[in-house]
Structure 1
Amino acid sequence: MRPGLSLRVSQHLALTPQLQQSIRLLQLSTLELASEVEQMLDDNPFLERTEEDAVREEFGLAHADSRVSDGDRASEQSFDSAASDSSDSGDPVEMGDAQSLVAESWEGDGSVEAVPDDAEWGGDAPARRNNLEGDDELDAGERGAPQESLTAHLHRQALSLRVNPEDAAAVRFMIESLNDDGYLEESLAELAATLIDEHDDQDQMEELVHRLTLALKLVQSLEPAGVGARNLTECLTLQLKSRQAERGVEPEEQSRLAVALKICAQHGAMELLAKRDARRLAQLTGEGEDMVRSAMACIVRLEPKPGRRFADVTRNAILPDVIVTSIGQGAQQRFRVQLNPDVMPRLRVHDIYANALRGGRGSDTHQALTQRLQEARWFIRNIQQRFDTILRVSQAIVERQKNFFVHGELAMRPMVQRELADELGVHESTISRVTTAKYMATPRGTFELKHFFGSALGTEAGGNASSTAVRALIKQFIASEDLKKPLSDNQIAEMLKEQGIDCARRTVAKYREGLRIPVASLRKAVQS
């Protein structure tokens, strides 16, 4: 191929740094946003947190009640289309000259005086109140007392054990080695290897393993029963033996517990228990099928995770981005939508540093600092736009799904992201970003914003039913079924047709699996 020069005219998409940052902030979750804010506070000296009692000019959501200006909407649509082109094609957006625009974009107009936008954002900034006035502000819920952990619970019991100091230390070590569910995941040999030098003789290793074995037995004697087990079978066995040792257990119950222990001792018993295969278990144990079913009923009442009740639920709690409260009753009932103030960062531009830039114009240092000042301003504005967009989308969701908030999931109406995008004048990709990893606290629970979207299923009346409502109906059917004769997917499909909803059997199976409900054969109750 001969080398040559040629001219070519082409179009490509260039995203300014402001739009890139706006897109990135919009799709971040609450935790990710908090991390982003901390990073910016460390990097930019012009950005600072506000004091709770500082006198400040409100910035941000105070303007949320006003309609979006044409300029703001054009800016929003510009990065909507840019991001949608990128996501639709699956290829990265071609930046073109965007990289060369980075320095220019942050420089702004060269002004260093304080401007209204430099006021802090977050703090006491009021969320849009859905045109409802005279309502009291939400009070923060009382924080519960700290919950005792499984480790602390076991350590407290271990204090009553009458053992020598070496064994007491071994017991403490075994307790610290348990996972959150109360299981011992590592072998005793592996634990012993972490305590002694690899060059020590074999006798020392064997002695340490023996001491840890005794310590494990002591731990397994503590409450809750089943703690310290190395697998599910051992966990269930420990609980059954603890039940046997209790006083006042009836002879008939003792017999069932003995058969249950025989079941747990069989190879592959857990798989057969999951399948409710009483006939096969009766063959393995040599017991009658009725007695095996009674023993299985004892086993299914046991706790497979002894540490479950000690779990720190606050660690896994979801912090909602939006709070919905009910106002009024009956036909006058309304729902107020507001942002959760706990997730809103309280930021402002540092006044002292900004004012210090008034002198020294023209120097390289001044230009660099001016760029950092503009960067801080844009960061605050983009956070404002993020929360404003979340609030607008949430209000539109509540308005469209009002029947859900009044009557529950069975009243959920079908809604897709494109409908909401057309209503708000944004791109569908923006709705997708806003509703991902963003949560809404409602009188009916806390839900991800995506929960309120669902495809439509046809009805005999010619209307549409939401897939979310159909899932709720399937769940309702299964909850009220006869446990001796659970409903099959075909039967559920027929019941839906009786309700006027055309839903195929495979669709019922898909929805049932999405609800994590097992098939009919596994839902059949074990009779005691």
Structure 2
Amino acid sequence: MKQSIQLRLGQSLVMTPQLQQAIRLLQLSTAELNAEVQEALDSNMMLEIDEEQDLGQGTGTQNGDGEADRPAREAEPDADLKATDENIAGDIIPEELPVDSAWDDVFDTTVGATGGSSEYAMEIENQRSAEESLREYLLWQINLAPITEMDKVIAYAVVDALDGDGFLGASLEEIHQTLGNEAEPGLEMDEIEAMLHWVQNLDPPGVAARDLRECLALQLQQGEADRPWLAEAKLLIAKFFDVLVARDYNQLARRMKLDKEALQEVIKVIQSLNPRPGAHLQSARVEYVVPDVYVRRKAGAWQVELNPEAVPHLRVNPYYAGMIRRADTSADNTSLRAHLQEARWFIKSLQSRSQTLLRVATAIVERQRAFLEHGDVAMKPLVLHDIAEVLGMHESTISRVTTRKYMHTPRGIFELKYFFSSHLNTDTGGACSSTAIRAVIKKLIAAEDPQGPMSDSKIAAVLTQQGIQVARRTVAKYREAMAIPPSNERKRLV
């Protein structure tokens, strides 16, 4: 093998730390970006919130015919700040940041500690506190009861074995093993089972059940004794629960010797029960979505504008910037210069993020006007490549801009990803988006006869009659994606 030295000319994107920051900010959600902004404010004295911008000045807008205004502008610097800018050595901030690139091979694009990991930690914390709320409520009742200390120990073990919905997640044998040295010598399984039944009589009704059947039976047992159809409901749960699950109402009425109207009353009693008795005690995690862009109809045209309250507007603090002296190479002055340049890069990165988001959102609105006017059934097929080609950007950029970014429309708040969907062919040679097909399927199921629900094959046949070529398995996939049960589970009494 012969070795040689060759010269080659080529272009490559140099991922400077500043450019990496701009790209990272581009993919953050609004909540993560606000955390990033707050961290920057805490760590950089040169940054401050522009109160005038936050009062509503300088909101970025764009429509199909106009150019986007700059959504976030730096406050005009005074003379001292301008003079300071001229003395920032060598690090010139460009007008446009080349954030559009396929940067997967350049650096790790996964969300950092301020993003996914903190969300995961928060989720785990919420789960822990939710379980403790149910646990503490049950322990409070146990501690008030006049039972022996050993019975309390067993009851504690039963409570510790409950899941978030209040169901027993361990067998009696496993509970016996967990007691270990805390149990008295010779503790029998009958004693554990007896305490399980005791815990099952605590509030909320149905707690500590081993399965759904037992959960419903416990609630019926603790219900009002004079409630109409209570005895029939107990009989149904005890002997014909499997028939009820199969929704075979004809067999159920025949075996229980009830007519259609009476059976319906019995089922209403069962439907009034709580299949998750511990769920209402959970500390539900409420997530609020802050829209990144607003879409409004003005003068007959759809206008897209950034949400001015989504992210605070920043500017360089003129007081601290004015402290920088020319030709001063002291450590303090050098540190001030570094903080100033870091602040200007951060503000520029925020501007670039907002401008890119506005351009992408506007391009989406231009192609989905029919959806805004007529709803899901009018959604057009759209893929990332379509928007990337129109804007001259890379598909990976479009993907990150549309992930966890939300648009407020007259029809509700949607993630930008919602407007992208695959397509299926029609008999006329056109295409229909999968979102529109799901909307049609949902509409057909909503209008079906509850005693004779439409099968997936029947729905596919109806769609074919409407000119949409779709297979039965595709209908099943879309139905399952919308959490709609199959036809045999949708059948119900009227």
TM-score relative to the length of structure 1: 0.66
Distance 1:190 1:376, change over 3 A: farther
Residue in structure 1 matched with residue 373 of structure 2 by the alignment: 406
1:423-434 correspondence to structure 2 within 5 Å = 423-434=390-401
- Amino acid paired to 2:351: Q
Partners of 1:293 and 1:8 lie apart in 2 by 87
Residue in structure 2 matched with residue 122 of structure 1 by the alignment: none
Residue in structure 1 matched with residue 218 of structure 2 by the alignment: 238
String of CA shifts for 1:460-488, please: whole Å, max 9, x gaps. Answer: 33433222111100111111112222212
Q: Does 2:35 align with 1:35?
A: yes
1:3-402 correspondence to structure 2 within 5 Å = 6-7=5-6, 9=8, 11=10, 12-49=12-49, 54=51, 61-62=58-59, 67=67, 75=96, 78-80=98-100, 82-83=101-102, 86=103, 92-93=105-106, 151=133, 163=145, 180-183=164-167, 185=169, 202-203=183-184, 217=198, 220-223=201-204, 225-229=205-209, 231-242=211-222, 245-250=223-228, 252-263=229-240, 274-276=245-247, 299=270, 302-309=273-280, 315-325=286-296, 335-358=302-325, 361-363=328-330, 365-402=332-369
String of CA shifts for 1:74-120, please: whole Å, max 9, x gaps. Answer: 946x442x32xx45xxxx1389xxxxxxxxxxxxxxxxxxxxxxxxx
Distance 1:390 1:63, change over 3 A: closer
Partners of 1:214 and 1:493 lie apart in 2 by 54
Asked if the contact 2:44–2:339 (Cα under 8 Å) also holds between the matched residues in 1, the reply is yes
Distance 1:497 1:202, change over 3 A: closer
Partners of 1:44 and 1:410 lie apart in 2 by 50
Asked if the contact 2:381–2:432 (Cα under 8 Å) also holds between the matched residues in 1, the reply is yes
The alpha-carbon deviation at position 344 of structure 1 amounts to 0.8
Partners of 1:192 and 1:360 lie apart in 2 by 78
Partners of 1:483 and 1:157 lie apart in 2 by 44
Asked if the contact 1:220–1:229 (Cα under 8 Å) also holds between the matched residues in 2, the reply is no
String of CA shifts for 1:395-439, please: whole Å, max 9, x gaps. Answer: 333333233223221122223333333333433332221111112
Partners of 1:411 and 1:308 lie apart in 2 by 38
The alpha-carbon deviation at position 498 of structure 1 amounts to 1.9
Distance 1:409 1:13, change over 3 A: same
Partners of 2:320 and 2:95 lie apart in 1 by 33
Equivalent position SS for 1:203: coil
Partners of 2:26 and 2:287 lie apart in 1 by 23
Distance 1:16 1:346, change over 3 A: same
Residue in structure 1 matched with residue 118 of structure 2 by the alignment: none
Residue in structure 1 matched with residue 419 of structure 2 by the alignment: 452
Partners of 1:397 and 1:423 lie apart in 2 by 10
String of CA shifts for 1:300-346, please: whole Å, max 9, x gaps. Answer: 5533223555666662333322233456xxxx655554333443134
String of CA shifts for 1:180-227, please: whole Å, max 9, x gaps. Answer: 534465789999999x9x7x66329969x979976984674424x334
Distance 1:188 1:362, change over 3 A: farther
Equivalent position SS for 1:490: helix
The alpha-carbon deviation at position 360 of structure 1 amounts to 6.2
Residue in structure 1 matched with residue 410 of structure 2 by the alignment: 443
- Amino acid paired to 2:35: S
Distance 1:33 1:8, change over 3 A: same
Partners of 2:56 and 2:347 lie apart in 1 by 9
Partners of 1:347 and 1:166 lie apart in 2 by 64
Q: Does 2:473 align with 1:506?
A: yes
Partners of 1:150 and 1:320 lie apart in 2 by 33
Distance 1:192 1:510, change over 3 A: closer
Distance 1:431 1:274, change over 3 A: farther
Partners of 1:178 and 1:326 lie apart in 2 by 52
* Alpha-carbon RMSD: 4.8
Asked if the contact 1:260–1:298 (Cα under 8 Å) also holds between the matched residues in 2, the reply is no
Residue in structure 2 matched with residue 468 of structure 1 by the alignment: 435
The alpha-carbon deviation at position 248 of structure 1 amounts to 3.3
Partners of 1:326 and 1:191 lie apart in 2 by 62
Asked if the contact 1:49–1:347 (Cα under 8 Å) also holds between the matched residues in 2, the reply is yes
Asked if the contact 2:133–2:282 (Cα under 8 Å) also holds between the matched residues in 1, the reply is no
Partners of 2:308 and 2:193 lie apart in 1 by 50
Residue in structure 1 matched with residue 90 of structure 2 by the alignment: none
Partners of 2:163 and 2:182 lie apart in 1 by 30
String of CA shifts for 1:8-63, please: whole Å, max 9, x gaps. Answer: 5364442232322222111112232233334433443433445xxx5579999556
Structure 1 segments, 4+ long, off by >6 Å, are 56-60, 156-162, 169-178, 186-194, 204-207, 209-213, 277-283, 286-297
Equivalent position SS for 2:295: strand
Which of the residues 385, 389, 392 maps onto 1:422? 389
Partners of 2:249 and 2:200 lie apart in 1 by 33
Partners of 2:431 and 2:278 lie apart in 1 by 45
Partners of 1:217 and 1:343 lie apart in 2 by 52
Residue in structure 1 matched with residue 115 of structure 2 by the alignment: none
- Amino acid paired to 2:8: V
Structure 2 residue runs of 5 or longer lacking an equivalent are 70-92, 109-129
- Amino acid paired to 2:28: L
Between the aligned residues of both structures, percent identity stands at 39
Partners of 2:137 and 2:333 lie apart in 1 by 61
